[in-house]
Structure 1
Amino acid sequence: MDQVVIRPATDVDHPRIVDLLSRSWGSTTVVAHGVKYDASTLPALLAVRRGRLAGLLTYTIGGDAFEVVSIDAVVERAGVGTALLEAAVERAEAAGLARLWLVTTNDNLDALRFYQRRGMRLVQINRGAVDESRKLKPRIPLTGEFGIEIHDEIMLEMRLPRRESHH
């Protein structure tokens, strides 16, 4: 398999980020836990394979936590998502944060499997949260993966080992 290189996004990457988010999410808008994000303006990690964009992870840091806002792999099941998530964990640990967390929807069974296999735990279900999110982003479909109606958000998190910072 070709090597995937993970690196922080720069301003030069912005058009490719907008393009990938638009193809994956219908726009650069991502709504989670009642917050509307323009994911193209968030800090991001890029996965590059053979000089081409292979994946993207956008995030925000608040308090003691690293929130993964979006994660996309251009080709699924090729190690890109895993590499992006591992890089996010490394970044969060290096910053001395206590946890990495994210939200997905109740229909996203592939994501639930993916995150749990990589050490994340289910910590909360927010019933009706996606119904509320549709008020901010009406394009969110009513039915998702496997013909499952989308209503709820599921929060997953990974507790991180606290390191003493050496300045």
Structure 2
Amino acid sequence: MTSIQVRPAGPGDHADLAALHEREWGGPHVVVHDTRYDLRELPALVAVDGAGGFAGALVHRLADGGLEVVSLAATTPGNGAGSALLAAAEAVATAAGADRLWLVTTNDNLRALRFYQRRGLRIVAVDAGAVDRARTVKPTIPYLGEDDIPLHDELRLERRFPAPAAGS
């Protein structure tokens, strides 16, 4: 496996980010928990491989005492970029004084559910019908998701951080 490094996105990453978001989400807009986000307007972390090649990205926002992962995608699954990006996002969260990292995925995304749970995130809520509502804002959301599973619901996952030690 190639060594993965993570850094904040810079102006030179715009084309790679745009291509990744087009591939993953059909463009720069995502609709999650009844909110439409433009991924170009939020902070991003990028993963690069040992040769300096673009390996993935995580777009996030700090709000409500936590860091929300709005988008996470690797150029090649299994290359270590997702794990490295998630660890870097936790570092951003703790540096900002946040006590949790959280995100939303869909009921069909079994690969993501496995990935996140293996990294300590827990399912804390299910919003039945959230994807159905999101289609009114973004009609290109498919009705069938991965493995031909009907796409209807959002699952919220989170991991809480231990409180910093006194005096640190």
TM-score of the superposition, structure 1-length normalised? 0.95
The structural deviation recorded for 1:3 is: 1.2
Task: State the 1:132 CA deviation.
Answer: 0.2
Tell me if the contact between 1:68 and 1:102 (Cα under 8 Å) persists in the aligned partners: yes
- C-alpha contact 2:2 2:79 (8 A) present in aligned 1: no
Give the match's secondary structure for 1:76. coil
The answer on whether the counterparts of 1:96 and 1:163 sit within 8 Å (CA) in structure 2 is no
Q: Any gaps of 5 or more consecutive residues in structure 2?
A: none
Quote how far apart the aligned CAs of 1:165 are.
9.0
Partner of 1:34: 34
Q: What is the CA distance between 1:19 and its match in structure 2?
A: 1.6
Q: Distance in 2 between matches of 1:104 and 1:10?
A: 26
Give the equivalent residue in structure 1 for 2:112. 111
Q: How does 1:111-150 map to 2 (within 5 A)?
A: 111-150=112-151
Q: In the alignment, which residue of structure 2 is the partner of 1:25?
A: 25
CA drift of 1:14 comes to: 1.7
Alignment of 1:56-67 (within 5 A): 56-67=57-68
Distance 1:37 1:166 in 2: 37
Secondary structure in 1 matching 2:21 = helix
Kindly, what percent of the aligned residue pairs are identical? 49
Within 2, Cα distance between the matches of 1:165 and 1:11? Answer: 38
Conservation of the 8 A alpha-carbon contact between 1:21 and 1:40: no
Q: For this pair of structures, how many residues does the alignment match? A: 167
1:163 Cα deviation from its structure 2 partner: 2.3
- Please state whether the residue corresponding to 1:131 is helix, strand or coil: helix
Distance 2:135 2:45 in 1: 27
Q: 1:143: Cα distance to partner?
A: 0.2
Consecutive unaligned residues of structure 1, counting only runs of 5 or more, are none
Quote the offset at 1:98 in angstroms.
1.1
The TM-score normalised by the length of structure 2 is 0.95
Cα RMSD of the aligned pairs, angstroms, is 1.5
Aligned to 2:72: 71
Deviations 1:142-163 (A, max 9, x none): 0011110000000000001222
Counterparts of 2:37 and 2:111, CA distance in 1: 23
Specify the alignment match of 1:162 in structure 2.
163
